[in-house]
Amino acid sequence: MSRLKLGIPKGSLQEATLDLFSRAGWKITLGSRSYVPAIDDPEIECLLVRAQEMARYVESGALDAGITGHDWVVETGAAVDELSELIYAKQRLARVRWVLAVPEDSAIREARHLEGKVIATEVVHITESYLAKHGVKARVEFSWGATEVKVPQLADAIVEVTETGSSLRANRLRIVDTVLESATVFIMNRTAAAESWKREKVENLILMLQGAIAAASKVGLLLNVHRDDLPTVLAVLPALKKPTISALSDPDWVAVNTIIEEAVVRQILPKLKAAKAQGIVEYPLNKNVL
């Protein structure tokens, strides 16, 4: 039987990824040889690989597909297909930025001020491309971690990843510029992508992962409403979603069932009540495929 060799990111993305797969329908279990986790699908073979190394191994064919950051695809320059962004809802892993940052009181205010300076970063190639684009010469030093504490003693500036900027602020750093935006991506080896079985397997996997991601930020709403009040109730619901309206035994009343973003429920629910909806119930979803 053919099997899909799939790289799961080890480290900070690992737990969120295993949780996402679980919600999508695949149970991945770490065993005694924890780098080869078990998965309850005989058509898939998993390998835990660091996000930084994923693209390299997908490019070489050691893996057919994998989940990593767009940033590491760029940094390694690996020739792979980026099939789909995975914006893990309710997880901390939405979009991130690699930024050029300096101490709050630094004289560096824009890229050209970096001339002759020392920059510490985990993404040496991305940083060098950025400097080249701005026609600046500076020394870029590979940092093994804890980059944000290296200025000013050990470097003049850093290029570091951030989501909200709060860690940078806590270290009294100022963001000078955005060097690269990134998100988690599902990547695939180009030869494997040309095999129809592997391609279809991967597409179904992405469908389910996206279904689980979509469901995590949504809920179902059920309510009863008198036919006279139906237009008012429908006017409150988001226009894009087409609710399911079903008949009740009492012909004057209908049941409305709709899927909406959880984040808007707190605004919509008081309005639904004002519009005379009754027996309003919000229920959780596992998956949602439009």
Q: Does 287 bind a copy of itself (CB under 8 A)?
A: yes
DSSP letter for 109, please.
-
CB 100 within 8 A of CB 111: yes
Distance CA 180, CA 70 (A): 9
Distance CA 90, CA 103 (A): 32
Q: Cβ 245 to a copy of itself, closest distance in Å?
A: 4
For residue 160, the surrounding DSSP H or E stretch is: strand 157-162
Closest to a copy of itself by CB, 143 or 184: 143
Residues 41-70 that bind a copy of itself (CB under 8 A): 41, 47-50, 52-53, 56-57, 62
CB 174 within 8 A of CB 104: yes
Residues 145-184 that bind a copy of itself (CB under 8 A): 145-146, 149, 153-154, 166, 170
Q: Cβ 56 to a copy of itself, closest distance in Å?
A: 7
Which residue in 2, 33, 105, 107 binds a copy of itself (CB under 8 A)?
33
Which residue in 4, 8, 10, 17 binds a copy of itself (CB under 8 A)?
10
CB 206 within 8 A of CB 213: no
For residue 96, how far is the Cα from the chain centroid? 9
Q: Cβ 89 to a copy of itself, closest distance in Å?
A: 13
Q: Does 269 bind a copy of itself (CB under 8 A)?
A: yes
Q: Does 105 bind a copy of itself (CB under 8 A)?
A: no
Distance CA 201, CA 39 (A): 15
Q: Cβ 110 to a copy of itself, closest distance in Å?
A: 25
DSSP letter for 113, please.
G
The site map against a copy of itself for 201-240 (x = CB under 8 A) is ---x--xx--x---x---xx-x-x----------------
Distance CA 62, CA 5 (A): 8
Q: Does 186 bind a copy of itself (CB under 8 A)?
A: no
